[in-house]
Amino acid sequence: MVIAWAHWAAIFLALVLPSSRVLGAPSAEEGAGGRSKGAERKGSAGVRGGKGVHEVEDACVRCCDSPRWPPRHGDRLHQTTTTAAPQIEISILKGDRGARGDHGPPGYLGKDGAMGTAGPSGPRGPHGSPGSPGADCKVFTSAFSVARRTALHSGDYFSVLSFDTEFANPDGHFNMFTSKFFCVVPGLYFVSFNVHTWNSKETYVHLMLNERPQVVLYAQQSDRSIMQSQSVTLELAEGDELWLRLYKRDRENAVYSDSTDTYVTFNGYLVHPIVE
């Protein structure tokens, strides 16, 4: 019974597997060929590996994707190749420093920054050299001093008190012919005049600016003669005239003087010029 079963099993295996291989085991020739090819691949891989090229075999594939199954020894089901780039040391390729380049064009002007705080005061510098002499300073002068050595009686209602003696008139601004001062330099002037009254006669003298009376010197009729004086500071414009006027009212108007002594004087001088 046992012998019969073994006989039928041998017949079945012979029909199913006519070759001498079982379950993909290689034959003697294929085994030798496979080892020979494996050695060649190994040797070839070794040579290529020396050149930096490696072969990687990956046999993990789906069974249904294989052209035949079961695979034989030496079949290449899936193969990938990776090439590694050569590594170069950059430091050994660095050259010498080049020459300095030209300056580029200036950039655009930036916005003004905020003003900083004031710094400490610096040391005092040396004295500078003297400057060149300036132009001569123009000095304005104007003055006069005149007198009368004879007595005068006023016969008209108004009359000019004239003068016959010149004490000072350096600029010629007092006209002895008209007995009037003509203003050439505008400014402030100090003006004064003195008279001697006559016994039993009235004395009435006005200081006139052009045609306008400014101040008056007055003495009533008396048995005694006395000295009278008046003074004032006036602002004169260029072209103004100063003069003295006798004023006759109901009584006779007169001033006394003689050739021996001087009793009647008229004086004026510039105090402060007003020039633009």
Find the CATH number of the domain harbouring 262.
2.60.120.40
* 0.85 surpassed by pTM: no
**Residue 112 falls within a domain, yes or no?**
no
Query: What SS3 string covers the chain?
Result: CHHHHHHHHHHHHHHHCCCCCCCCCCCHHHHHHHHHHHHHHHHHHHHHHHCCEEEEECCCCCHHHCCCCCCCCCCCCCEEEEECCCCCCHHHHCCCCCCCCCCCCCCCCCCCCCCCCCCCCCCCCCCCCCCCCCCCCCCCCCEEEEEECCCEEECCCEEECCCCEEEECCCCCEECCCCEEECCCCEEEEEEEEEECCCCCEEEEEEEECCEEEEEEEECCCCCCCEEEEEEEEEECCCCEEEEEEECCCCCEEEECCCCCCCEEEEEEEEEECCC
Residues of the chain with pLDDT under 70: 1-93, 156, 249
Domain carrying residue 253:
143-273
Which pLDDT score, from 0 to 100, does residue 256 have?
80
For residues 173 and 72, membership in a common domain is answered with no
pLDDT of residue 192: 95
One domain, residues 156 and 267:
yes
- Answer yes or no: is 267 within a domain: yes
In this structure, is residue 156 part of a structural domain? yes
3 lies in some domain: no
- Residue 266: per-residue pLDDT: 95
pLDDT of residue 178: 93
- Number of domains comprising the chain: 2
Q: Is residue 56 located within the same domain as residue 177?
A: no
Mark whether 147 and 76 lie in a shared domain: no
Residue 213 lies in a domain: yes
pLDDT (0 to 100) of residue 39? 42
Q: Give the tens place of pLDDT for each residue, 39-77.
A: 444 444 443 444 444 444 445 555 555 555 555 555 555
Residue 60 lies in a domain: yes
Residue 254 lies in a domain: yes
Q: What pLDDT, on the 0 to 100 scale, is given for residue 135?
A: 76
